[in-house]
Amino acid sequence: MPDRSMRPAHLLTALLPALLLAPGASAAPVSVPTDRGTLSLPAPARRVVALEYSFVDTLLALGVRPVGAALGTQGGDRGAPPYLRPKVGGIPHTGSRGQPSLEAMAAARPDLILADALVHKDSAAGFGRLAPTAVFPSRRADLDELNNQTLQIGRLVGREAAARQLLADQKTLIAKARAFAKKNAPTFVAGVVTPTSFTVHTQGSFAGSFLEAVGRRNAVPVRDGQTQFETSLEGLVALNPQTLVLFTAPDEKPVTDTWAKNPLWQKLSAVKRGRVYTFDRDDWTRGRGPTALKLMTAQAIESRFLQDAAPARGYQYQP
């Protein structure tokens, strides 16, 4: 609680060291641009509730343990991605991303809530009554936007320096990865495959833009404002990918297993060339934070996707 009896002059004196020491952990007010205008906090947040996995990943990477997170599986959510699971033990669940529990969130006594612009479009106003709520477009954002969110979240929790360091490290890592990328390699099509659907991730999606950042070209631009869109086998044949990246889950039978029985599948250039790669769809499309990006960069190299070589063991698609 700020001491109200403190006179402005004293307040300034008291804050001056903090201001000079900024951007380390400080008590100065912060204000950052969010999806719903500027959010100002009187002091950096200490108790944060994160309602998307990308926010959890980012906070942990910044060294801040959320006091609550949407890690539940209500409404069919698949829970934290495998790479994040060992790190989130003990963090109280505040429902799932799609069905956050206001009660559990209130019980965590947050001084900041991080919400998604798409999933919490309507509910964010209600969160605002519990604590200041920062709304960022996590679900439909590309790599640059999510990196910018890392910086803004860093500011909100008073760790801007750490955030800048994370981004600088990531830049170095990506530059190293780019060295592996084959020059003039053909374009790729990437998509999340579930038992019932194939969703293309375009240049404007997180995974789609990441794979471009590390040096390959995505064949599919954003279409009618949609960064991701569903397609059929026929649609995939029309795209005729030279390289195909499938994001699948080990516990599911992807719909492409059925498609692969159709002779059309063999007509895909990527199949003919033997350039069909699989990655874990939870790690690659649902983490979307600095830690996920490290893993993704390593796997992009290890799988030999960047080199445009035949997939390494464990990354081969076997229908």
Partner 1 sequence: MKLRPAALLPLAALTLLLGVLLSLALGATDIPLADAARLLLRPDDSTDSLVIHTLRLPRTLVAALAGAALGVSGLLLQGVTRNPLSDPGILGVEAGGALAILIMVVFLPTAPAALFVPAAFLGGLLAAAAAYGAARTAGVTPLRLALAGVAVASLAAAATRAVQILFEERAQGALFALSGSLAGRTWEQLAQIAPWLGGGLLLALLAAPRVNVLTLGEDVARSLGARTERDRVIVTGLGVLLAAGSVSVCGPIGFVGLIVPHAARALIGPDHRLSLPLAALLGAAFLTLADTAARLIDRPAETPVGILVAAVGAPVFVMIARRVGRRT
* Token reading at 58: 């980012």
Pairing of strands 243-248, 68-69: unpaired
Q: In angstroms, how far is the first alpha carbon of the chain from the final one?
A: 60
Is the CB of 144 or the CB of 234 nearer to partner 1? Answer: 234
Pseudo-torsion of CA 240, 315, 77, 96, nearest 10°? -120
Which of these ranges, 27-35, 54-62, 262-270, 305-313, lies near partner 1 under the rule CB under 8 A?
A: 262-270
Q: How far is the CB of 80 from partner 1 (least distance, A)?
A: 18
Q: How far is the CB of 209 from partner 1 (least distance, A)?
A: 20
How many residues make contact with partner 1 (CB under 8 A)?
20
Q: How far is the CB of 230 from partner 1 (least distance, A)?
A: 5
- 257 binds partner 1, rule: CB under 8 A: no
- 262 binds partner 1, rule: CB under 8 A: yes
Q: Check the CA dihedral 7-9-11-13 and report its sign.
A: negative
Site for partner 1 in 206-235 (CB under 8 A): 224, 226, 229-235
Is the CB of 38 or the CB of 196 nearer to partner 1? Answer: 196
Place of tokens 């599911």: 252
Pseudo-torsion of CA 120, 123, 124, 125, nearest 10°? 160
Which of these ranges, 61-69, 86-94, 163-171, 259-267, lies near partner 1 under the rule CB under 8 A?
A: 259-267
Instruction: From 306, 243, 304, select the one nearest 276 (Cα to Cα).
Output: 243
Site for partner 1 in 184-203 (CB under 8 A): 195-196
- 101 binds partner 1, rule: CB under 8 A: no
The residues, any chain, with a CB within 8 Å of residue 19's CB and separated by 6 or more, are 26, 28
Measured CA to CA, the distance from residue 262 to residue 281 in angstroms comes to: 24
Q: How far is the CB of 93 from partner 1 (least distance, A)?
A: 18
- 264 binds partner 1, rule: CB under 8 A: yes
Q: State how far Cα 194 lies from the chain centre.
A: 19
CB atoms closer than 10 angstroms to residue 112: 24
- 263 binds partner 1, rule: CB under 8 A: yes
Is the CB of 1 or the CB of 238 nearer to partner 1? Answer: 238
Provide the binding-site residues for partner 1, judged by CB under 8 A.
Answer: 75-76, 195-196, 224, 226, 229-235, 237-239, 262-264, 267
